[in-house]
Structure 1
């Protein structure tokens, strides 16, 4: 399911470290990786030449750090607006996953600060793994999926099951949040779901792959609860579905309402203390 990965690097953050950690997982070991660095346009030819040289070094350092078989990795150095170029290259290589660093800016700051990761997630339909600058990247064994009856959540479940295949000592945590508009926080409750329920079907799929699974529920504001559970359970990777509300005519435009409004995926992106993989509904 994840055979082609686009790794966007800037010379900062933990994106390369995340990629190296992912490659330790049996299901990801055969994936091809395209490492991309984008050089923003400069006001002078001399400045542009300097940025190209710097970009070449950033790519070379990333390739050296990853230390992959040359047949599994390629690099692209391109000029342009980073947020647009990442989307273009993801389409060109038909990436199954985009990995990027993130400064974890809040919604309005993301717009004013021209957050590349936020724009790419809004404009691309591809799964995206965001790694904030201030988190610690760990070996991926404990994976949490926020589960509801949406197609995007089912997509996240499928990705998690694929990633955890043959991972020794792994655990899949299925979390369901009961919305409490009053914001009252409950404890973490382990549950045994009914056989034909959404959670029950998810458990069946995990058990077929011999992946240990734990089902939990809590109540409160969904974004806050998902982040709290991930932190308290010491999760290595969090997967969250994000349904696309934009009409097809507006696919090429960033949804400003979601950028500055109350988006669950945006809240989790900013506040989670572990890497976050955001996925939309499979087209």
Structure 2
């Protein structure tokens, strides 16, 4: 399910560490990796030459840090707007997963600062793993999926089960939040899935694939509760579905209203204390 990974590097952050952790996962070991660095256009030829040389060093350092089998990794150094180039290369190689660093900027800040990761997530239908600069990347063992009845959540469940395949002692955590917009949080409860159809179906699928699953529920504001559950349960990787709310006539434009408005995926990517894999189903 994840055979081709695009790793976008900028010389800063934990994206390379995240890929190294992923490559320890049995189901990912044979995946091909493309490491991309984008050199923004410069106003003079000398400045462009300097940036190009600097970009080559960043790529070389990333490849050295990853220490992967040479047959499994390739590199691309390209000039252009990073936001556009990442999307273009992901399409060119038909990437199953994009990994990028993120400064964890809030929505309005993302717009004003021209956030690359926010732009790519808005415009790409491919799963995207965001790794904030201020988190600690751990070995992947405990994977959490925020479950509801959406197709994007079911897609995340499939990705989580794929990742957990072959991980000895791996654990799937299924979290279901009852929305209470007043912000009153409940206790964190481990529950049996028999009275919750969404969790029951997810547990049945996990059991069928030989993955141990635990179910937790809480109530409150969904974004806050998902982040709280992930932190309290020491989750190594959080998967969250994100419905594609972009109008079909505006697929090539960033949905500014959605960026400024209330968005569960935006809240979680900014506030979660672990890496976040955001995925949506394609129409």
Same fold, judged at TM 0.5 (above): yes
**Aligned partners of 1:46 and 1:280: how far apart in 2?**
42
Runs of 4+ with deviation above 4 angstroms:
none
Task: Give unpaired runs (5+ residues) of structure 1.
Answer: none
- What is the correspondence of 1:170-249 to structure 2 with a 5 Å cutoff? 170-194=170-194, 197-249=197-249
| Partner SS, residue 217 of structure 1 | strand
Which residue is equivalent to 1:34? 34
Contact 1:151 1:282 in 2 (8 A): no
Once residues 10 and 267 of structure 2 are traced to their aligned partners in structure 1, the CA distance between those partners, rounded to angstroms, is 24
Q: In structure 1, what is the Cα distance between the partners aligned to 2:237 and 2:34?
A: 22
- With 51-60 and 192-201 compared, the bigger mean Cα shift is at 192-201
Give me the TM-score of the superposition, normalised by structure 1. Answer: 0.98
Structure 1 residue 71: Cα displacement: 1.1
Give structure 2 stretches of 5+ with no counterpart: none
Distance 1:160 1:195 in 2: 23
Q: Structure 1 CA distance, aligned partners of 2:219 and 2:195?
A: 22
Q: Distance in 1 between matches of 2:246 and 2:8?
A: 25
Distance in 1 between residues matched to 2:195 and 2:232, nearest whole Å = 27
Residue by residue over 1:184-224, the C-alpha shift from the partner in whole angstroms, topping out at 9 and shown as x without a partner, is 01011111123882211110111122211101100000000
* 1:87-145 deviation line (CA, Å, top 9, x unaligned): 00000000000000000000110001110000000000000000000000000000000
2:21 is paired with a residue whose SS is helix
Comparing 121-130 with 208-217, greater Cα deviation is found at 208-217
State the alpha-carbon separation in 1 of the partners of residues 110 and 282 from structure 2. Answer: 26
* Aligned-residue RMSD, C-alpha: 1.0
Say which SS state the counterpart of residue 26 (structure 2) adopts: coil
Give CA-to-partner distance per residue, 1:6-42, whole Å, 9 cap, x none: 0000000000000000000000000000000000000
- Determine whether 1:113 maps to 2:113: yes
Relative to structure 1, the CA distance from residue 148 to residue 240 in structure 2 (aligned partners, 3 Å threshold; closer, same or farther) is same
Match of 1:53 in 2: 53
User: 1:195–1:201: 8 Å Cα contact kept in structure 2?
Assistant: no
- Residue by residue over 1:147-185, the C-alpha shift from the partner in whole angstroms, topping out at 9 and shown as x without a partner, is 000000000000000000010111100000000021101
Partner SS state of residue 193, structure 2: coil
Distance across 2 between alignment mates of 1:198 and 1:186: 20
State the match for 1:6 in structure 2: 6
Q: Distance in 2 between matches of 1:218 and 1:195?
A: 14
TM-score (norm 2): 0.98
Q: Any idea what SS the aligned residue of 1:27 has?
A: helix
Verify the 8 A CA contact 1:155 1:282 in the aligned structure 2.
no
- Number of residues of Structure 1 aligned to a counterpart in Structure 2: 283
